[in-house]
Amino acid sequence: MTIANVNPWVGLVPFMVFIWDKSMGDVSKTFVNESTSVDIANFLNGQSYPTKQLYFCPMMYTLPPSDIAQIPEGLQSFVHLKHNLEKSALENGNPILCNDGFKNSSGKYCKIFI
C-alpha cells in the first residue's frame, strides 16, 4: 500500500508577532507597524516560503544587553515567552513540550499537561 500526497500534521499556535521578510529592508522597519496574530506553526520547518522571520514583541520580551552576551539563567522575558507559547498551544489543543534546549532530551524534561 502506498500513501501519496499526505500533508504532515501541523498544530495551531496563534501568537502576536511582527513579521519581517527581505523585501522590507532593515529589520527595524518591522516594529513601526502593529503586531499581527499568526499561527507560528505555519512558519516552522520552512513551511512559509519565501522565508519570513517572526519577531516577538521587544517591549514584552526584552532581549539580553548584547547579541554576544550569554542569556542569563532564568531571564524573565524568556521564561514568560516560553510560558505564553505553551499556554497558547495548549488552549488550542496542541500542547508543546520544552526540552530545555537539549537536542537529545529524555522524558525527564517533558511536561505533563493535566
Count the alpha carbons within 13 Å of 86 in the hemisphere toward its beta carbon: 13
Confidence of residue 94 (pLDDT cuts 50, 70, 90): confident
Amino acid identity at 27: V
Specify the number of domains making up the chain. Answer: 1
| Interval 30-87: pLDDT, tens | 888 889 999 988 887 666 666 678 889 888 888 766 666 666 666 788 888 888 998 9
Q: Is 2 a domain residue?
A: no
Report if residue 104 sits inside a domain: yes
Domain assignment of residue 23, given as a range: 14-109
Find out whether 40 and 55 touch, Cβ atoms under 8 Å.
no
- Amino acid identity for residue 68 in this structure: I
- Asked, for residue 4, whether it belongs to a domain, the answer is no
How high is the pLDDT of residue 109?
Answer: 47
Pairwise pLDDT comparison (107 vs 18), residue with the higher score: 18
Are residues 101 and 108 in contact, defined by beta-carbon separation less than 8 angstroms? no
The x, y and z cell numbers of residue 111, run together, are 511536561
- Is residue 7 one of the residues assigned to a domain? no
Structural domain includes residue 5: no
In a domain, 9, yes or no: no
pLDDT at 64: 66
The band of 114, judged by pLDDT with boundaries at 50, 70 and 90, is very low
Per the domain annotation, does 69 fall within a domain?
yes
Strand partners, 55: 18
Picking from 61, 64, 56, the residue whose alpha carbon sits closest to that of residue 38 is 56
Chain position carrying cell 524534561: 109
DSSP letter assigned to residue 101: T
How far is Cα 79 from Cα 51, in angstroms, rounded to an integer?
27
